[in-house]
Structure 1
Amino acid sequence: MGQTLVGILLNAAMHGGVPRLRTGQESLANYEEAAAAYGLTPCFVKLSDIDTQSGFSRVYMKTGTQGYRTHIVPTPQIIHNRAIYDPHSSGIDRLVQQGIQVYNRCNRYGKDQIHALLERNKELQAALPATSSGLSGLREMMDRYPDLILKPCRGSVGNGVMRLTRSGGERWIWSYSPAGSRRSFIRPVRPDALPRALRARLAAVPYLVQERIPLAEIGGRPFDLRVTVQRGWGGAWQVTGMFAKLAAPGGFVSNIARGGEALQTSFVLERAFPGEEAARVRMSVLSLSLAVARELEQSLPGLADLGLDIGVTKQGNLYFIECNGRDQRYGFRKAGLSSVWKDSYRQPMGYARYLYEAALRMNSY
């Protein structure tokens, strides 16, 4: 075809929506525009359509006014992974073994795994909340801290997150939302008689138990910052952009999918902090985010695209909250940052061009 192809690897359900332009929060138009800026042609593929024996793949590509049609093409040598697979899946490993460069090979990491990796860096330890795990860890943390957040190690978009707050003496308040609901429920509990439902949740899946950071607030609503850190043209990490996530009234999680609101960072910081403090906080968030990405790349191969949640206290102290290996990006659009939303697609395509040219230089020696 004479085109330089870049593969966009999608899960089967999203891949099936490509010809109908129904791909959820993934913007096909943004991929097309971003890839074209670097002389690339995007093709959308799922793992089962890559034939490692023949070296060809069945992909969706845009064909003029006819929309997206199926094509059989040589498997792209550079693939941007936007799919989530079981950690034990060997499909991507087989591609890498054949010399195909897949970036963001894995994009769903356990919160406990990420915390352990960052904890090894002494300079980052001050930005990590006190953390334990499981039922025994919960009891230990209840002895030490009056406010706790409980997170499933492999949960996403705030699902399964709970809060335990001491309300006086031995009395605690358990706050949680049932699966699929944005409503929060509260229930009094005692450390020596934790409810069966709470113990069952902790037994069902691994949970991280963390000291709840007293986040800065706007109108009584806590917020944190989503920072998109990516590799682009040149290969170096850079911050593409950030926006603030404001928790719903009365809520304790800021996830947009759980009722949180996406707002521009400058708007929020300038209302939470006086004068030059807002600018200082912003610059510190940039530095921390880049340090986190550089530390994680030491242990996680193929890392190139991260969404980091950074908490800011009322005193302007920063804490790393969690890492998203498949940043949803749409928060920029919801915050009115359309150009940054497009940049979050452009950077990965720039990185694909960088990898292609690096491979050409290596082959020319």
Structure 2
Amino acid sequence: MGQKLVGILLNAAVHRGVPRLKTGQESLESYEEAAAAYGLTPCFLKLADIDTESGFSIAYIKGSQGYRRAVIPTPGVIHNRAIYSQDSSGIERLLRQGLLIYNTCNRYGKEQIHGLLEQNEDLQSYLPVTTAGLPGLKEMMDLYPDLILKPCRGSIGKGVMRLTHYSGRSWTWSYLPSRSSRWVSTFVDQDVLPRMLRARLAAESYLVQERIPLAEISGRPFDLRVTVQRGWGGTWQVTGMFAKLAAPGGFVSNIARGGEALSASYALDQAFPGEAAAYLRMTVQTLSLAIARELEHSLPGLADIGLDIGITRNRRIYFIECNGRDQRYGFLKAGLRGTWKESYRRPMAYARFLLEDASRYNSY
């Protein structure tokens, strides 16, 4: 296989850090190793440096003196690791030039994903009951004693709130104040919700869901992050999964909010008896593949996602949310270094697959 270029599209802030090897959770070394395994040279790009008129771009490429900017023919296949929405004019401009960009959009609203999955009858039983906004909250408070409120466009647990029924018309409202790492809980009246809560729901779109009574380890709830990717051949595969364990006393499992990453096998074995743990692990993988295949019908270019899957104490499985830019570092924190490396290799295998025959881009 001859050496070919593959583009890695980064946000401007991450791109600036490439020559200093300061790219946050993006591992340049892992990209280099993964690309080399498939005869590829990774080129680290930002949108502003791609000139569609000339067909050339400015990119960082690794040489003997480290990463240096170079003018290169724009790679025909680009793995998008920057955050762009579905209406990004910059991405559309590249697609019109015939470039193959996978993970074209990686910021989807939670309500959009829920709506797409809800259309599949086989997946409906895996979805928690969901409404939206202040009217939805009032409706749900009459139906369920424990609710989670999530920003439709939020990530890493930012802005998540919880309402737990206390007695009569009284509820406990738990939230994380801005610039604080400590959760605050206060009593609220169902008929007279506090101004700050109503203001949050008015300022941005919120989903309101029944809270899933997640399985626990030592009193701490956990869910599973499942990385699902296309690799060589273009078909979806589960690269791996790890467990996200909420901080002591917390109810969100995000690592960025104090959660802890564990091996999924270890977490399931701790929470469920032997055979049940194995069955749940296989069922979660099967469900994750079904979700990816359903979403691909409506989300062009989808190729690399992270799914959050919850399991209740009585072994019921729920889809929680889809992450269009899976950060992957949880595998490393869970001690699963081999799987972490594989999460970089599989997208590079897909890139080589597309470079071999570009016509296959729209076939999957």
Deviation at 1:147, TM superposition (A): 0.3
Deviation at 1:86, TM superposition (A): 4.7
Q: Deviations over 1:69-116 (max 9, x none)?
A: 011000000000000125432111111111100000000000000000
Aligned equivalents of 1:87 and 1:289: distance in 2? 22
Partner of 2:40: 40
Partner of 2:343: 344
- Partner amino acid for 2:126? A
Q: Percent identity?
A: 72
Partner of 1:79: 78
1:20 matched to 2:17: no
Deviation at 1:243, TM superposition (A): 0.2
Aligned equivalents of 2:200 and 2:360: distance in 1? 52
- Partner amino acid for 1:7? G
Q: What secondary structure sits across from 2:154 in the alignment?
A: coil
Aligned equivalents of 1:95 and 1:231: distance in 2? 21
5+ long unaligned stretches in structure 1: none
Q: What secondary structure sits across from 1:150 in the alignment?
A: strand
Q: Is the 8 A contact 2:7 2:44 kept in 1?
A: yes
Deviation at 1:181, TM superposition (A): 2.6
Aligned equivalents of 2:358 and 2:15: distance in 1? 28
Deviation at 1:179, TM superposition (A): 2.7
| Matching of residues 235-254 of structure 1 within 5 Å | 235-254=234-253
Q: Is the 8 A contact 2:308 2:319 kept in 1?
A: yes
Q: Is the 8 A contact 2:85 2:105 kept in 1?
A: no
Partner of 1:115: 114
5+ long unaligned stretches in structure 2: none
Partner of 2:124: 125
Deviation at 1:361, TM superposition (A): 8.6
Partner of 1:319: 318
Aligned equivalents of 2:148 and 2:225: distance in 1? 18
Partner of 1:56: 56
Q: Which of 350-359 and 6-15 deviates more?
A: 350-359
Q: What secondary structure sits across from 1:129 in the alignment?
A: coil
User: What is the TM-score normalised by the length of structure 1?
Assistant: 0.97
Q: What secondary structure sits across from 2:315 in the alignment?
A: coil
Deviation at 1:3, TM superposition (A): 3.9
Q: Which of 91-100 and 29-38 deviates more?
A: 91-100
Q: Is the 8 A contact 2:103 2:301 kept in 1?
A: yes
Q: Is the 8 A contact 1:159 1:179 kept in 2?
A: no
Aligned equivalents of 2:45 and 2:117: distance in 1? 33
Q: Is the 8 A contact 2:354 2:360 kept in 1?
A: no
Deviation at 1:169, TM superposition (A): 1.5
Aligned equivalents of 1:287 and 1:361: distance in 2? 24
Aligned equivalents of 2:46 and 2:209: distance in 1? 37
Deviation at 1:170, TM superposition (A): 1.2
Aligned equivalents of 2:180 and 2:76: distance in 1? 42
Deviation at 1:266, TM superposition (A): 1.0
| Matching of residues 255-294 of structure 1 within 5 Å | 255-294=254-293
Aligned equivalents of 1:207 and 1:16: distance in 2? 33
| CA shift in 2, pair 1:167/1:49, >3 Å | same
Q: Is the 8 A contact 2:255 2:261 kept in 1?
A: yes
Partner of 1:355: 354
1:331 matched to 2:345: no
Partner of 1:150: 149
Structure 1 runs, 4 residues or longer, greater than 3 Å off: none
Q: What secondary structure sits across from 2:274 in the alignment?
A: coil
Aligned equivalents of 1:180 and 1:290: distance in 2? 37
Q: Which of 265-274 and 79-88 deviates more?
A: 79-88
Aligned equivalents of 2:20 and 2:339: distance in 1? 26
User: What is the TM-score normalised by the length of structure 2?
Assistant: 0.97
Q: Deviations over 1:187-225 (max 9, x none)?
A: 100110000000000000000000001100000000000
| Matching of residues 202-241 of structure 1 within 5 Å | 202-241=201-240
Aligned equivalents of 2:359 and 2:184: distance in 1? 57
Deviation at 1:360, TM superposition (A): 7.8
